[in-house]
């Protein structure tokens, strides 16, 4: 009876920690006061064409511009506050999903995982609207996860996928 109570308590603690990490990602939504990077990037996302962006930069940031353009089509996505909320949501979801993977697959202690994710979010210094940086972090995370699964479970397709993701960002 006592062991089941401890497991239930630890599960509740892990859920609370995951929620704290998720909402902590929104601390940087600063109501559009970060005009330098946010305004520049939203301009690229809203008016995504070779008419407004020079060709090398357009193709180098094509994926982030396309995702940013989709975010701009969402309700309030074309406003600074809305875009910051949507891009922070992307970062929050990425952080919690990575934390859940580390906890489940690598069997790391929950509090250690959530402390690490909290620390990672605290060290994330870029504006949330700079999607090409956020996407490169996402692709690195996916590549590391695929490498881990490929090496530990001997799945060659995961190793191939990790190589593909790394090729996308490098």
Residues 25-74: tens digit of each pLDDT: 888 777 555 666 666 667 667 666 666 666 776 666 777 778 888 888 88
Q: Which residues touch 69 (CB under 8 Å, ≥6 apart)?
A: 45, 46, 48
pTM for the full predicted model: 0.79
CA distance 139 to 48: 22
Residues 96-129: tens digit of each pLDDT: 999 999 898 888 888 899 999 999 888 887 777 7
CA distance 113 to 107: 10
């Amino acid at each position: 009876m006592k062991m089941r109570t401890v497991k239930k308590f630890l599960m509740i603690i892990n859920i609370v920690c995951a929620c704290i990490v998720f909402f902590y990602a929104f601390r940087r939504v600063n109501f559009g006061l970060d005009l330098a990077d946010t305004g520049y990037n939203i301009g690229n996302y809203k008016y995504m064409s070779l008419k407004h962006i020079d060709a090398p930069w357009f193709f180098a940031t094509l994926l982030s511009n396309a995702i940013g353009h989709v975010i701009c089509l969402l309700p309030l996505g074309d406003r600074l506050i809305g875009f910051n909320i949507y891009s922070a949501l992307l970062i929050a979801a990425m952080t919690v999903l990575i934390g859940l993977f580390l906890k489940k697959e690598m069997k790391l202690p929950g509090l250690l995982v959530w402390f690490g994710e909290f620390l990672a979010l605290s060290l994330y210094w870029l504006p949330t609207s700079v999607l090409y940086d956020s996407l490169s972090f996402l692709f690195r995370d996916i590549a590391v996860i695929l490498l881990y699964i490929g090496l530990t479970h001997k799945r060659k397709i995961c190793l191939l996928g990790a190589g593909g993701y790394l090729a996308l960002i490098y």
